[in-house]
Structure 1
Amino acid sequence: MLKKLFGKSVTEEHFVSPVNGKAVPLEEVPDPVFAEKMMGDGIAIEPTDHTIVSPIDAEVVQVFETKHAIGLKTEMGLEVLLHIGLDTVNLKGEGFDTFVKTGDKVSAGDKLVTFDKAFVEANAKSCITPVIITNYEASEYTLEALFPEQAIAGETQIFQVKKK
Structure 2
Amino acid sequence: MAYEQLAKDILAGVGGKENINSVVHCTTRQGLAIEPSEGTLYAPADGHVALVFPTGHAIGLNTTAGAEVLIHIGMDTVNLEGKGFETLVEKGQEVKAGDPLVKFDLEAIKAAGYEATTPVIITNSKNYHQVKVLATGQVTVGQALLDLE
TM-score normalised over the length of structure 1: 0.82
Question: Which amino acid is the alignment partner of residue 158 of structure 1?
Answer: L
Worse-superposed segment, 58-67 or 75-84: 75-84
Q: Could you list the per-position Cα deviations for residues 7-35 of structure 1 after superposition, in whole angstroms to 9, with x for gaps in the alignment?
A: xx87961111111101121xx21xxxx42
Do the aligned partners of residues 36 and 143 (structure 1) sit closer, same or farther apart at CA in structure 2, a change above 3 Å counting? Answer: closer
> Runs of 5+ in structure 2 lacking a partner?
none
Count residues with an aligned counterpart. 147
Q: How does 1:96-111 map to 2 (within 5 A)?
A: 96-111=85-100
Worse-superposed segment, 60-69 or 39-48: 39-48
| Matched residue, 1:64 | 53
Q: Does the residue aligned with 1:94 lie in a helix, a strand or coil?
A: coil
| Matched residue, 2:133 | 145
Within the alignment, does 1:81 sit opposite 2:76 as a pair? Answer: no
| Matched residue, 1:133 | 122
Q: Contact 1:21/1:47 (CA < 8 Å) preserved in 2?
A: yes
| Matched residue, 1:53 | 42
Q: Does the residue aligned with 2:125 lie in a helix, a strand or coil?
A: coil
- Point out the structure with max Rg over C-alpha: 1
CA RMSD in angstroms, aligned pairs only: 2.1
Q: Does the residue aligned with 1:119 lie in a helix, a strand or coil?
A: helix
Within the alignment, does 1:37 sit opposite 2:48 as a pair? Answer: no
| Matched residue, 1:19 | 14
| Matched residue, 1:114 | 103
Q: Contact 1:95/1:116 (CA < 8 Å) preserved in 2?
A: yes
Q: Contact 2:25/2:31 (CA < 8 Å) preserved in 1?
A: no
| Matched residue, 1:6 | none
Do the aligned partners of residues 67 and 113 (structure 1) sit closer, same or farther apart at CA in structure 2, a change above 3 Å counting? Answer: same
Question: Which amino acid is the alignment partner of residue 147 of structure 2?
Answer: Q
Q: Does the residue aligned with 1:73 lie in a helix, a strand or coil?
A: strand
Question: Which amino acid is the alignment partner of residue 49 of structure 2?
Answer: V
Q: Could you list the per-position Cα deviations for residues 110-159 of structure 1 after superposition, in whole angstroms to 9, with x for gaps in the alignment?
A: 0000101111012243101011011111x643111023322111x21111
The separation in 1 between residues aligned to 2:96 and 2:6, in whole angstroms, is 18
